[in-house]
């Protein structure tokens, strides 16, 4: 078998969800909310299942969804996109794989900013490329021009950026996006911009899509996910957005990964994106309240909690909380002996991985948060 897969561990998200099920723990590990989706979308999906085609949709996506994605970004980010910029995929995970396979040739280097989403490095390797890690430093996690530009060599083909950032909850500033744009332009790189968290913004923040920076439209492959926008992570409807010439090539990679994506869910997502944006603000406020409730509970329980500006994740600093074990040992003990599953950050980097931080998902109902916080306090007691 291919050693890449033979030696690959089960993803940290699956591992922690299995541990939560095994030990009956509150699952604050894998990132999925237990509230937040608009009911009308579920009804639209049910209608589409009964009344529309259940046969293969066009490989690049239902025209209605491709148009809705383009219109959504034109409205939100002032872009001038059309259906020809959009290729629908089975989730952002597939979009990332298609984008990497379409971009990377053997021996190409691809820069990733760690902690980085866990699919990037293995997929770069599968494409024959070499992932090059640039470590962001806690607690600011800032993108630095010198660190980024030093990582570029004559073999560098692309940079993968994730903004807003999972697992840290950081939203990079315009100055940091300008750093990425400058490095990409100077060295003529493609930027794969994983923007799945673009709408999960807290404290009134706004979001800038990387493709809207001067000179970036032609070299950016944006990745989006309806699973995140509508809090329906199991739906696995995502997309790539790029200049038409790039999008044509991306669509070729997509056609031999999945070929096409469940048509009824595509129709429901098209409905959701087109029906207006009134749901966005209440959704953000609800996640913000959840973050505040979890942070307060953890701080009162003696935990050092890092800031979270977006996504539904926050990080806890174990060392600063007086816990002397590494993230992996803490996570296993917390699931098994205290009843709460969290994600160790060392799973998001291979070199210089931080080992003193764990990620918690706060996109949960009050009772789930309270039970999780109580279990975290119990977990602290195991090491106190």
Total Cβ atoms within 10 A of residue 320: 14
Nearer to ligand PMP among residue 93 and residue 288 (C-beta):
93
Beta strands (DSSP E) in 21-120 are 26-27, 86-89, 109-114
In a 3-state reduction of DSSP, which class is residue 163?
coil
193 near ligand GLN (CB under 6 A): no
Beta strands (DSSP E) in 226-312 are 238-241, 304-305
34 near ligand GLN (CB under 6 A): no
18 near ligand GLN (CB under 6 A): no
Q: Which residue has the tokens 């939100």?
A: 76
The partner in contact with residue 30, picked from ligand GLN, ligand PMP, none with C-beta cut-offs of 5 to 8 angstroms by kind, is ligand GLN
The answer to whether the beta carbons of residues 68 and 273 sit under 8 Å apart is yes
The partner in contact with residue 238, picked from ligand PMP, ligand GLN, none with C-beta cut-offs of 5 to 8 angstroms by kind, is ligand PMP
Nearer to ligand GLN among residue 85 and residue 364 (C-beta):
364
Degrees (nearest 5) of the Cα angle 170, 76, 145? 40
Total Cβ atoms within 10 A of residue 60: 24
166 near ligand GLN (CB under 6 A): yes
Nearer to ligand GLN among residue 31 and residue 164 (C-beta):
31
The partner in contact with residue 260, picked from ligand GLN, ligand PMP, none with C-beta cut-offs of 5 to 8 angstroms by kind, is none
**In the complex, what is the shortest distance from the CB of residue 350 to ligand GLN, in angstroms, rounded to a whole number?**
18
**In the complex, what is the shortest distance from the CB of residue 200 to ligand GLN, in angstroms, rounded to a whole number?**
12
Helices 263-274, 39-51: crossing angle, 10 deg rounding: 140
Query: How many residues are given for the chain?
Result: 384
> What's the alpha-carbon Rg for the chain, to the nearest Å?
20
The answer to whether the beta carbons of residues 335 and 16 sit under 8 Å apart is yes
Question: Using the rule CB under 6 A, which residue among 31, 57, 131, 297 binds ligand GLN?
Answer: 31
Pick the stretch among 54-62, 90-98, 104-112, 212-220 that binds ligand PMP (CB under 6 A).
90-98
Nearer to ligand PMP among residue 62 and residue 323 (C-beta):
62
Token code pair at residue 154: 């004559």
- C-alpha neighbours within 13 Å on the C-beta side of residue 329: 11
231 near ligand PMP (CB under 6 A): no
Cα 245 to chain center, whole Å?
A: 25
Question: Using the rule CB under 6 A, which residue among 73, 117, 239, 312 binds ligand PMP?
Answer: 117
233 near ligand PMP (CB under 6 A): yes
CA distance 30 to 17: 6
The partner in contact with residue 92, picked from ligand GLN, ligand PMP, none with C-beta cut-offs of 5 to 8 angstroms by kind, is ligand PMP
CA dihedral 147, 151, 156, 159 (to 10 degrees): -30
99 near ligand PMP (CB under 6 A): no
Question: Using the rule CB under 6 A, which residue among 13, 35, 37, 77 binds ligand GLN?
Answer: 13
207 near ligand GLN (CB under 6 A): no
Cα 339 to chain center, whole Å?
A: 26
312 near ligand PMP (CB under 6 A): no
CA distance 168 to 159: 19
Pick out residues in 150-209 that bind ligand PMP (CB under 6 A). Answer: 162, 166, 194, 196
Nearer to ligand GLN among residue 15 and residue 72 (C-beta):
15
CA distance 255 to 246: 14
Question: Using the rule CB under 6 A, which residue among 15, 26, 30, 279 binds ligand GLN?
Answer: 30
Q: Is residue 146 within a helix (H) or strand (E), and if so which, with residue range?
A: helix 145-151
Q: Which residue has the tokens 């509970």?
A: 297
93 near ligand PMP (CB under 6 A): yes
Pick out residues in 4-33 that bind ligand PMP (CB under 6 A). Answer: 31
Binding site for ligand PMP (CB under 6 A): 31, 91-93, 117, 162, 166, 194, 196, 225, 227, 233, 236, 238
Binding site for ligand GLN (CB under 6 A): 11, 13, 30-31, 166
């Amino acid at each position: 078998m291919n050693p890449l897969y033979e030696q690959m561990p089960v993803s940290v998200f699956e591992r922690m969800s299995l541990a939560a099920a095994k030990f009956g723990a509150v699952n604050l590990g894998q990132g999925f909310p237990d509230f937040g989706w608009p009911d009308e979308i579920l009804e639209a999906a049910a209608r589409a299942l009964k009344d529309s085609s259940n046969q293969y949709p066009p490989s690049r996506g239902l025209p209605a969804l491709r148009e809705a994605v383009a219109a959504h970004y034109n409205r939100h980010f002032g872009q001038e996109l059309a259906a020809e910029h959009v290729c629908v995929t089975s989730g952002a995970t597939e979009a990332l794989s298609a984008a990497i396979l379409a971009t990377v040739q053997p021996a190409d280097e691809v820069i990733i900013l760690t902690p980085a989403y866990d699919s990037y490095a293995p997929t770069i390797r599968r494409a024959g490329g070499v992932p090059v890690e640039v470590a962001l430093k806690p607690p600011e996690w800032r993108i630095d021009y010198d660190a980024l530009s030093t990582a570029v060599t004559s073999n560098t083909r692309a940079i993968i950026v994730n903004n807003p950032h999972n697992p840290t909850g950081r939203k990079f500033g315009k100055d940091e996006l300008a750093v990425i744009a400058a490095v990409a332009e100077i060295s003529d790189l493609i930027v794969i911009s994983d923007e799945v968290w673009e709408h999960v913004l807290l404290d009134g923040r706004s979001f800038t899509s990387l493709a809207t920076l001067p000179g970036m439209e032609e070299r950016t492959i944006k990745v989006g996910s309806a699973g995140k926008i509508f809090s329906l992570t199991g739906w696995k409807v995502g997309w790539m957005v790029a200049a038409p010439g790039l999008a044509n090539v991306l669509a070729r990679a997509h056609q031999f990964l999945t070929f096409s994506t469940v048509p009824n869910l595509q129709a429901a997502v098209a409905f959701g994106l087109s029906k207006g944006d009134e749901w966005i603000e209440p959704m953000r406020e609800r996640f913000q309240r959840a973050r505040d409730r979890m942070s307060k509970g953890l701080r009162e329980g003696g935990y050092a909690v890092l800031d979270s500006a977006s996504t539904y994740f926050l990080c806890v600093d174990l060392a600063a909380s007086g816990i002397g074990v590494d993230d992996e040992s803490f996570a296993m003990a917390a699931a098994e002996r205290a009843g709460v599953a969290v994600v160790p950050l060392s799973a998001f980097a291979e070199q210089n991985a931080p080992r003193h931080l764990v990620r918690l998902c706060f996109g949960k109902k009050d009772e789930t948060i309270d039970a999780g916080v109580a279990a975290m306090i119990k977990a602290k007691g195991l090491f106190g």
